Amino acid sequence: MSDCCATATIEIAPTPRVAGKIQTVALVGPPNSGKSTLFNRLTGLRQKVANYPGVTVEQHYGKLSGVGRGDLTLIDLPGIYSLNTSSEDARVAVDVLHGRMPGAPVPDAVLLVLDSLHLQRQLMLAAPILALGLPTLVLLNMSDLMETRGGEVDTLALARELGVPVAKISAARGTGLDSIRHFLDKKSEPVTVKPRLELPVMGNPRSYRQWATGISTRTKYKAPLSSEWTRKIDSVLLGRITGPLLFLAVVFGVFQIVFSVGLPVSNAFQTVLTGAGSKVGLLLGNGWLESLLIDGVWKGVSSVLVFLPQILLLFLFVGVLEDSGYLARAALIADRVMRAIGLNGKAFIPLLSAYACAVPAIMATRTIENKRDRFATILVAPFMTCSARLPIYMLMIAAFIPNKPLLGSFFGLQAAVMLSLYVLGFLAALATARLLKSSILKASSAPFILELPQYRVPTVRSLSLRLIDRGKVFVKQAGTVILCVTLVLWVLSHIPFHADLPQSIIGHVGQWIEPIIKPLGFNWKIGIGLLSSVIAREVIVGTLGTLYGADPATQSLSLQAALRHDLTLGGAMALVVFFAFAMQCTSTLAIVKRETNSWRWPALQFAYMSVLAYIAALATNVLISHFF
Amino acid sequence: MSLKALSELKIGHTATVEELKLPDEVQHHLMHMGFTPEALVLAVRRAPTGDPTVYAVDGMEVALRRETARWISVREFEEGSR
């Protein structure tokens, strides 16, 4: 779906400054210190929270709710290790903190979130942050975990050492948040760097380290025992034999559940939606209004809504993998393979998310420090089979492929075709990455530095926030863009009035492009579907529903039966192959433009993918027509 | 005590970081991850594919490829000590 999964960035206009009062608070901390969890706690807004270093790549804004004054703006910054690193995450954070980020409010206070499980190392970030001279509250997050694992720290001594208040919190459990309220309710004092505070030489990690070690010794910091659990789990999940097996099992399991559990649920949902539509249709009588609302709007929107259960299932899986910490292990296992195509294990996470949607995947590539590796990942991500392709895949497979069992009743022909479409997209991505890395994006590979977080049990709260967020965006998409497209199409296919579909405006456009797409085995209705799906892939199903619904010849048939009536097997398979390769997603193009800061890349991507799609669809049609 | 590349450190063995001979940017990043001179490093395990290797440094586990780890020189204690 086009921008189905654009992260929930809430734009809030900067509040006018009131002297002496804190207006804007920045949330700063190293990657994976729990900033995003705290941000969600404090604002009640939904935002991507993941147990994987570097997932937050955008700065997010939110008004405080429940804690502190409601008029305060909180900015969630990307995780950073220092103010002096090369990654774009760090650049964004530094620009916001220095008030150099255009359009972002200038922070006048800082909440520094540190993971108390690794306090000694995390304290290194305190030095450059305190040197900014903004009022700062240091939050020792995950203090509950630290204490249960036998860790200790004297917060009062730490506050004396740093010259700023320090509080223990647990963002996941919501404890210790009162300290934030007290800090924010106080009037901001004129800022003076405390005379007692001795900061290390700026920009030198070694001196930061000595400074941090000194402080942690003087504040009697005792690091907690590292989780035996994590090591024990890793000895299985990263085991020489068990590791790759479980990795494959996880990938396979995700597909199996999305399709074997998701599909029946979607079908049941479809029955409900169609039933509701025809009930309302009866009430409306048999006029043009009934036709507009039921054949036009409802058919179009519900044919996309049907996929909600499956999309939610997929996001649930990706969410559990991310939040549990397994995704970082997957990157470790995948590194060897990714390296073979010139990318690194970190590209695996974005590419895996691209199976849900290319938009968040492309945004997540900011954690790849090497610019050329990053661009290569951005350019191949749209080849991964995103969930917006599922509607048309499932429709065509259900309509044209008999469900013959192949490996018992567990794995049938339909599943095999679906799996091969996934493989096709994946292979196209690999080949393209190879091509890019050996031509225009040739570069020495970036060092692969991957932090392995401790395993955590994903919280129901974080998972459900994520699902609600994604579900909402998807429904909004179906309810707005797709509604508009189906409405326009209904009108275009009913003007002139009382004309048959081939004589309507849309019929003419479709017939005009038919010669171009005829070699692929497509008719003019598919042509219109292709035109409308340039906005977003899933739109085609709604369009076809509307077109076949408006055609008297196929009006009484189900969409599947109507397609069988109208297309050959070769044309149908050419269509899904076309969708496997083509770049039909305006949101992805827009995000690529933003991330690469030039129209050159999305233009190249669109041209390359379209040509590839046309050739592959042509080959598919010719081959299938020849053999079957 | 012997000086060697971090990539040569056997699994289960501990050493102290001596020197990083990497481009500034990389070195900077690694130092912030805990790979500073005199820091204790334990080679925890190799990835199932043999590379990268997971190192425990400063209570954190970080994976590095051999091509990166070979530019970090370490001083190892006696055989098998932790």
Q: Which of A108-112, A308-312, B13-17 has the lowest average pLDDT?
A: A308-312
pLDDT at A622: 95
Whether chain A has a CB inside 8 Å of the CB on B48: the answer is: yes
* The domain boundary residue, chosen from A192, A224, A256: A224
Q: Which of A83-87, A290-294, A493-497, B77-81 is predicted least confidently?
A: B77-81
Check if B61 contacts A (Cβ < 8 Å).
yes
**Of A194-208, A373-387, A430-444, which range is least confident?**
A194-208
Q: What domains are defined for chain B?
A: 2-76 (2.30.30.90)
Distance CA A289, CA A303 (A): 20
Least confident of A382-391, A529-538, A580-589: A529-538
Asked whether residue A11 is domain-assigned, the answer is: no
Assigned token pair, A225: 């025992």
Name which of A205, A226, A339 is nearest B28 (Cβ-Cβ).
A205
pLDDT at A12: 40
**Is the confidence at residue A590, as pLDDT, over 80?**
no
Provide the pLDDT for residue A138: 94
A306 and A425 both lie in a single domain: yes
Closest CA to A459 of A357, A322, A353, A262: A322
Whether residue B32 and residue A81 make contact (CB cut-off 8 A), yes or no, is yes
Instruction: Measure CA A492 to chain center.
Output: 35
- B57: nearest CA in chain A? A121
CA distance B56 to chain A (A): 10
Q: Does residue A466 belong to the interface with chain B, where contact is any CB pair within 8 Å?
A: no
Kindly determine whether residue A124 and residue B32, on different chains, have CB atoms separated by under 8 Å: yes
Within-domain flag for A535: yes
Q: Tell if the CB–CB gap between B48 and A81 is shorter than 8 Å.
A: no
Q: What is the mean pLDDT of residues A337-342?
A: 82
pLDDT at A54 over 50: no
**Residue A438 CB contacts under 8 Å (≥ 6 apart), including other chains:** A342
CA dihedral (A268, A270, A275, A277) in degrees, to 10, reads 160
* pLDDT tens-digit readout, A12-25: 444 444 456 678 88
| Exposed e or buried b per residue across A2-40, where buried means at least 16 C-beta atoms within 10 angstroms of its C-beta | bbbbbbbeeeeeeeeeeeeebbbbbbbbbbbbbbbbbbb
Q: Do A231 and B44 touch (CB under 8 A)?
A: yes
A332 domain-assigned: yes
Q: Are A481 and A540 in contact (CB under 8 A)?
A: no
A16 lies in some domain: no
- Compare B17 and A486 and report the one with higher pLDDT: B17
Check if the beta carbon of residue A97 is closer than 8 Å to that of residue A107.
Answer: yes
Asked if residue A9 belongs to a domain, the reply is no
On whether residue A236 sits in a domain, the answer given is no
Same domain? For A324 and A213 the reply is no
How many structural domains are present in chain A? 2
Chain B CB contacts of A205 below 8 Å: 28, 31-32, 36
Q: Which of A126-140, A198-212, A557-571 has the lowest mean pLDDT?
A: A198-212
Contact A22, A188 (CB under 8 A): yes
The boundaries of the domain holding residue A43 are 24-224
pLDDT tier for residue A478 given thresholds of 50, 70 and 90: low
What is the mean pLDDT of the segment spanning A203-214? 77
How much is the mean pLDDT over chain A? Answer: 80
| Pair A186, A38 in one domain | yes
Residues A220 and A253 in one domain: no
B22 touches A at CB < 8 Å: yes
Contacts of B54 in chain A (CB under 8 A): 234, 238, 332, 452
- Name the 3-class secondary structure at A295: helix
Cα three-residue angle A116-A118-A122, rounded to 5 degrees: 90
**Same domain? A485 vs A594:** yes
CATH of the domain at A207: 3.40.50.300
The CA angle A114-A237-A248, to the nearest 5 degrees, is 120
pLDDT at A618: 96
Coil vs helix vs strand at A287: coil
Between A158 and A188, the more confident residue is: A158
Q: What is the DSSP letter of A450?
A: E
The tokens of A528 are what? Answer: 């219109």
Of A174-188, A433-447, B4-18, where does mean pLDDT reach its minimum?
A433-447
Nearest Cα neighbor of A535 from A607, A568, A486 is A486
A448/B63 Cβ within 8 A: yes
On the CB side of A255, CA atoms within 13 Å amount to: 19
**Within-domain flag for A5:** no
- Statement: residue B8 has pLDDT above 80: yes
Q: Are residues A496 and A549 in the same domain?
A: yes
Residues A252, A195, single domain; the answer is no
Are A56 and A202 within one domain? yes
- B56: contact with A, CB 8 A cutoff: yes
Question: B53 falls in which pLDDT band (50, 70, 90)?
Answer: very high
Q: Kindly determine whether residue A117 and residue B59, on different chains, have CB atoms separated by under 8 Å.
A: yes
From chain A, the residues in CB contact with B45 under 8 A are: 234-235, 238
pLDDT at A570: 94
A203 & A252 share domain: no
For residue A276, pLDDT over 70 is answered with: yes
Is the same domain home to A353 and A388?
A: yes
Q: Is the pLDDT of residue A353 over 80?
A: no
Q: Tell me whether residue A184 is in a domain.
A: yes
Alpha-carbon gap, residue A270 to A73, rounded angstroms: 42
**A554 contacts A493 by C-beta, under 8 angstroms:** no
The fraction of chain B above a pLDDT of 90, given in percent, is 49
Q: How far apart are CA A415 and CA A122, in angstroms?
A: 48
Last residue of a domain, one of A194, A224, A254: A224
pLDDT digits (tens, 9 = 90+) for A394-419: 899 989 998 887 776 667 888 889 88
CA atoms within 13 A on the CB side of A510: 23
Task: Please say if the pLDDT value at position A498 is more than 70.
Answer: no
Q: Are residues A505 and A396 in the same domain?
A: yes
Listing from the earlier edge strand, what are the strands of the sheet with A24-28? Answer: A60-63, A73-76, A24-28, A109-115, A136-141, A166-168
Give the pLDDT confidence score for residue A203 in this predicted structure: 62
CB contact under 8 A, B37 and A206: yes
Mark whether A258 and A132 lie in a shared domain: no
